[in-house]
Structure 1
Amino acid sequence: MKLLPKDLLRKLQAQDPYHPTGPGRELRKDEELVLAKWFTPDANWTWYAVSASQDEESGDVQFFGLVDGLEVELGYFWLSELERVRGKLGLPVERDLYWEPITLDKLMEEKERAA
């Protein structure tokens, strides 16, 4: 399974305020859609992406979003990191194929309630 299909990359880039196809401004949390979710099937880590930018030199993709691991935090993570991560049983990260986009503020509320 491909972690980042081209159509998903384009959607994520369209939410990057600095990308030519982006909104041209910082989005509020109630505007930012969480478009992708990745998880470790054999560990307790989940990554949610709001936007993406591709490094021209390396081709690697940097995401902005929410990471739920040791704690829940907003920040940046790389596609190459997701490709390298393995859980306790050595299983790779998978993309949630059934993920339904929600706003970042709603996801954060859900995570706070679950904590």
Structure 2
Amino acid sequence: MAETDLLTVEDRVALLVNALVDERDPFPVVKLFTPDAGATWLLTECDPDEPDRFFGLCDLGLGCPEIGYVSLTEIMSIPGPLGLPVERDLHFVACKSLTTYADEARIKGRIVA
């Protein structure tokens, strides 16, 4: 699977803009998930100095989602139990800020988006 299957050029631009502006609680740009497991990522920013490093809400399906940094290369290397690759949610449109998603995820033990 290629990175371009998960992130479009427009996504990359939006992720970089979020990293460079002063807004400290942006809306997620993209949602990635494992179709055959419980892992989900809501990404808000891409590090301008390290293009493989992203910031967002990360949930590996263990009941403790957290905000932090993640490598897109590592995300792409995670197969689910059936060997299916990580996918992008093509229908995801963020309707709230990252911290609002994170607050809800902590209460529910998983990302609901």
The TM-score range, normalised by the shorter chain, is: 0.7 to 0.9
Q: Give the match for residue 56 of structure 2.
A: 65
**Offset at 1:54?**
4.9
Q: Give the match for residue 9 of structure 2.
A: 6
Q: Give the match for residue 72 of structure 2.
A: 79
Partners of 2:29 and 2:103 in 1: how far apart? 17
| Mapping of residues 1-115 of structure 1, within 5 Å | 2-16=5-19, 22-23=20-21, 25=22, 27-29=23-25, 32-55=26-49, 60-69=51-60, 70=62, 71-101=64-94, 102-115=96-109
Pairwise CA RMSD of aligned residues?
1.8
More helix by share: 2
**Offset at 1:98?**
0.6
Q: Secondary structure at the match of 1:14?
A: helix
Gaps of 5+ in 2: none
**Offset at 1:2?**
0.6
Partners of 1:91 and 1:54 in 2: how far apart? 30
The runs of 4+ residues in structure 1 deviating greater than 3 Å are none
Which structure: larger Rg? 1
Counterpart code for 2:11: L
Partners of 2:108 and 2:83 in 1: how far apart? 27
Gaps of 5+ in 1: 17-21
Counterpart code for 2:90: L
Partners of 1:34 and 1:40 in 2: how far apart? 17
Aligned residues: 103
